[in-house]
C-alpha cells in the first residue's frame, strides 16, 4: 500500500523517525532542538510584537515634519539590550556543550601497559 507520508501522519502512523529518538544521544539532540526552537519562536514573537506596536503606535511620518527627539546615551537600555542576547547565547552554549558531552562522550582512558 503506497500512502503519502503526510496522510500517514494524519492517520497516526509513525512515519517521521527523527521526531521519535530511540537512543539517549538522539534524545539529547532532539531536546536541544526543541529548546532552541522555543527560544527562536519567543525571540521572533517579541520582534514581531515590537514591530507591530511601532507600526500601530506611530502609523505615519509626513513630509516636512521634523525628526522626533533623539535619545542619547541611555546606559540602562544599552546594558539591557546587550545583556539579554549575552544571556541567551550563554544558555544555548551551555546546553549545546552538555548535549555534545552526551552525544559524543570521551572514550575511556587507555590502560597503562606495564612490562
Q: How do residues 54-87 score in pLDDT, each as one tens digit? A: 999 887 777 788 877 887 888 998 999 999 999 9
Residue 115, domain member (yes or no)? no
Give the span between the Cα atoms of 73 and 78, in whole angstroms. Answer: 8
Asked whether residue 17 is assigned to any structural domain, the reply reads yes
**Residue 93 confidence class, pLDDT cut points 50, 70, 90:** very high
Domain membership of residue 87 as a residue range: 11-60+73-103
Residue 45 lies in a domain: yes
Q: Cα(110)–Cα(115) distance, rounded to whole angstroms?
A: 15
**pLDDT value at residue 9:** 57
pLDDT of residue 8 exceeding 90, the answer is: no
Q: Work out how many domains the chain is built from and give that number.
A: 1
Domain assignment of residue 65, yes or no: no
Q: How far apart are CA 108 and CA 95, in angstroms?
A: 23
Q: Which CATH number covers residue 77?
A: 1.10.287.90
68 assigned to some structural domain: no
Amino acid at each position: 500500500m503506497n500512502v503519502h507520508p503526510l496522510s500517514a501522519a494524519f492517520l497516526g502512523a509513525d512515519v517521521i523517525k527523527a521526531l521519535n529518538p530511540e537512543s539517549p544521544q538522539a534524545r539529547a539532540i532532539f531536546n536541544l532542538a526543541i529548546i532552541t526552537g522555543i527560544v527562536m519562536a519567543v525571540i521572533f514573537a517579541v520582534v514581531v510584537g515590537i514591530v507591530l506596536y511601532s507600526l500601530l503606535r506611530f502609523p505615519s511620518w509626513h513630509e516636512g515634519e521634523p525628526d522626533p527627539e533623539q535619545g542619547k546615551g541611555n546606559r540602562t537600555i544599552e546594558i539591557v539590550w546587550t545583556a539579554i542576547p549575552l544571556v541567551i547565547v550563554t544558555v544555548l552554549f551551555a546546553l549545546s556543550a552538555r548535549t555534545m558531552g552526551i552525544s559524543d562522550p570521551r572514550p575511556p582512558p587507555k590502560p597503562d601497559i606495564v612490562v
